[in-house]
Structure 1
């Protein structure tokens, strides 16, 4: 009787470990192909593997949002009236070519969200001297190739930023979110 109960407990534990290894913990789910499921939530610093398409090229990349920080109002001085009432948000990322296809000169786009997960309603059309978004370098063509970039987003003056979302391709209606 005792050995049957021990076997049942061991089987239950093994099943729980197997299920936890598939993802699904803490709002993030990794699919069988290794990509992140739509609607997954991560913390800043965590890596998401996603199918990706830009500039007529497609492949699989990993995005690691390293930081999401509000910059000083003075960084928007060059925008004059267009920057009035806004603050810059600097999103620093590491992008990795997972699939090994030629993804040179592509750009990853994320959007800032407020603490409740809704858009900030401030769009920055270009970067600032403190955060110039660079496209993938010419060498971004092999598995494991990486580059770091910074994207400028924005929030209304006095508001806070809660994180960023990735909404490209299949994630349009149910984005991946990195929370601060």
Structure 2
């Protein structure tokens, strides 16, 4: 059995390994905002999801409630919240953008984008678990190294949010 601190350390090392210079990641995480830019497309990719889609599902208007909905819907898969840009980033396997490519046009209309090679993502240090300022934090922490969101669950979440938004617009 591993302690939470052991798991966070293992996740931290795994995330650092995505960068060609892990010491740069450690340095960036030690700065006041505690966010490091990690290249996507080798170990992991990300799906950028606007608050509106998640809020349509959560129907509560509070970040904590929305985070709980993400945790439940994505079965504990890791999600970063960026309150400044009002977006979530579901971390997915590096291959996910290829699998989601056929739906790219539909996703783009909803403000969703699959981020992969050639893109860097601001990743907060692993102990940033709540919004204390407008800095990014883990809405759903990475449970263990390499444990990412299942792309189909992310696609289902997005489809559900899109249906809810469309229904709300039709009612308005």
TM-score range, shorter chain: under 0.3
More strand by share: 1
Q: Which has the higher contact order (CA 8 A, sep 6+)?
A: 2
More helix by share: 2
What TM-score, normalized by structure 1, do the two folds share? 0.23
